[in-house]
Amino acid sequence: MKSTLREFTSEDWKSLQQHANNPAIAKFMTNQFPYPYTEQHAKEFIFRISKMQPAQVFAIDHQGECIGAIGIHPQADIMERNAELGYWLSENFWGKGIVSACIKEMLEYGFNQFPINRIYARPFGSNLASQKVLEKSGFKLEARLEKVIFKNGIYEDELIYAVRR
């Protein structure tokens, strides 16, 4: 299934809200990703990321509709040569290879756009699909931190996957 990455537009709020408002997605995200995901959340998110220059967060587009997001977040201070990768995709599109293609594109963008040597991602220990897509994209497991995430009343392992320039 062909999808593309593009910058968000103010008109994306409706599809963003529709696809993001899903407990199956929110359960593997930080608490900054709300559930329920309201119209206000979508509009505030688009407003906030539209100020980032260069762009760090992109819409995953399928036939003109925002069905997810992927972002690369350069770090600061002693971690300044690193960037964190984060992503989510509408449940309707899981298992179709979309995220793998988007990660490949974001790795190229991140290493070309920012002065970094390492891109990492931190999936929950129970998020096997995310672990699989990262491994398929060339990421290596660097660490497993046991029971350090507390989400929805449950302790989860945090995995750290990374790829280097």
Q: Are 12 and 6 in contact (CB under 8 A)?
A: no
The pTM score is 0.95
Contacts for 128 with CB less than 8 Å, ≥ 6 apart:
none
Give 13-74 as a DSSP string.
HHHHHHHH--HHHHTTS-TTS-SS--HHHHHHHHHHHTT-SS--EEEEEETTEEEEEEEEEE
> pLDDT at residue 10 above 80?
yes
| 86-136 pLDDT tens trace | 999 999 999 999 999 999 999 999 999 999 999 999 999 999 999 999 999
Cis preceding linkage at 74, omega within 30? no
Domain range holding 38?
4-164
Pair of tokens at residue 142? 């660097």
Q: What is the rounded end-to-end Cα distance, in angstroms, of the chain?
A: 28
Pair of tokens at residue 52? 């980032």
Give how many domains the chain has, as a whole number: 1
d(CA 152, CA 58): 27
> pLDDT at residue 1 above 90?
no
> pLDDT at residue 2 above 90?
no
- Percent of the chain at pLDDT > 90 equals 98
Decide: helix, strand or coil at residue 154.
strand
> pLDDT at residue 161 above 90?
yes
What mean pLDDT do residues 11-39 have? 97
CATH number for the domain that contains residue 146: 3.40.630.30
